[in-house]
Amino acid sequence: MQNNVLTGLNDHESKLNSIWMQLLLERGATDGATEEEESKEFTALFLEALNQGGNSDNLNSHAFEKLYDLLSGISISRAKRGFSPRETAQYMISFRDAASQILSEIAKDPAVLFAANLELNAVLDNLIIMNFESYVRGREDVISRQTDEISEISTPVIRVWDGVVALPIIGTLDSSRTQIVMENLLQQIVDTESSIAILDISGVPAVDSLVAQHLIKTVSATRLMGAECIISGIRPEIAQTVVHLGIDLTGIITKATLASALQTAFEMLQLSVVKRK
Q: Residue 216 — pLDDT band, cuts 50, 70, 90?
A: confident
Rounded to whole angstroms, the Cα distance separating 190 from 16 reads: 63
What does the pLDDT read at residue 2?
44
Domain map (residue ranges) of the chain: 2-150, 158-268
Full-model pTM = 0.60
Q: Do residues 231 and 243 make contact, with C-beta atoms less than 8 angstroms apart?
A: no
Task: Count the Cβ atoms, other than its own, within 10 Å of residue 42.
Answer: 20
pLDDT tens, 11-51? 889 999 999 999 988 888 887 656 788 888 999 999 988 88
pLDDT tens, 54-74? 787 788 888 888 999 999 998
Q: Do residues 23 and 97 make contact, with C-beta atoms less than 8 angstroms apart?
A: yes
Instruction: Supply the DSSP string of 200-238, one letter for each residue.
Output: EEEE-S---HHHHHHHHHHHHHHHHTT-EEEEE---HHH
The CATH T-level fold of domain 158-268 is: Transcription Regulator spoIIAA (3.30.750)
Rounded to whole angstroms, the Cα distance separating 203 from 195 reads: 24
What does the pLDDT read at residue 34?
66
User: Edge-to-edge strand order for the sheet containing 196-203?
Assistant: 158-161, 164-170, 196-203, 228-232, 253-255
Phi-psi category of residue 50: left, alpha or beta, with phi > 0 → left and psi -120 to 50 → alpha: alpha
Q: Is the pLDDT of residue 104 over 50?
A: yes
Q: pLDDT: is 3 or 10 the higher one? A: 10
The pLDDT of 3-9, averaged and rounded, is: 72
Q: Do residues 256 and 218 make contact, with C-beta atoms less than 8 angstroms apart?
A: no
AA identity, residue 84: S
Rounded to whole angstroms, the Cα distance separating 51 from 48 reads: 5
Right CATH number for 2-150 from 2.60.40, 1.10.490, 1.20.1250, 3.30.70?
1.10.490
